[in-house]
Amino acid sequence: MADEPDTPAALERPFRLIVADRRVLAQNPAGKLIDIGEIAHEPQGYAIRLDVDAIATAPEPDSQRALAALRPKLSFDYLDGLFTSMADAHVDGLLDACPQLRFTLDEPIPRGLGAGGQPHRF
């Protein structure tokens, strides 16, 4: 049997973070839009606090930089869990005109499937 790599393979999945009406929204590859937290304009700048877990950013000069500061705090598993458990968000207006950040996260592939392996059958 061939040696498996130490790090499991992963697939890149696109996501988008959007600021609209003092809320932070996330959109997944399927187009589902969810409300994940708030963005507040504090005296020191814009800070984001997510509704689930204690994920927050320090104040940044603008909302775009606040989104960029949030990005490294997010994992595929965290966002996937939110998309699975939360209802669709409904927002009035055009989202394309709102501050946003497009990025990708690695979706882990179960060990043994990355190199064309077959899943175990029980």
Task: Spell out the per-residue pLDDT of the chain, length 122, in tens.
Answer: 455 555 555 689 999 999 999 999 999 999 999 999 999 999 999 999 999 999 999 999 999 999 999 999 999 999 999 999 999 999 888 899 999 999 999 988 766 655 555 555 55
Helices vs. strands in the chain: H and E counts, helices first: 2, 5
pTM of the prediction? 0.82
State the pLDDT at residue 80: 94
State the pLDDT at residue 1: 47
Each as own residue / partner, the long-range contacts of residues 35-40 (CB below 8 Å, 24 or more positions apart, any chain) are 35/86, 35/89, 36/82, 36/86, 39/63, 39/66
Under 8 Å CB-to-CB from 51, ≥6 apart: which residues?
35, 36, 37, 38
Domain boundaries, the chain: 11-89+98-104
Which residues, listed in sequence order, are joined to residue 56 by a DSSP beta bridge?
A: 49
**Dihedral pair phi/psi, residue 38, rounded to 5°:** -115, 155
Give the 3-state secondary structure of residue 46.
Answer: strand
Please tell me the distance from the alpha carbon of residue 31 to that of residue 41, in angstroms, as a whole number: 28
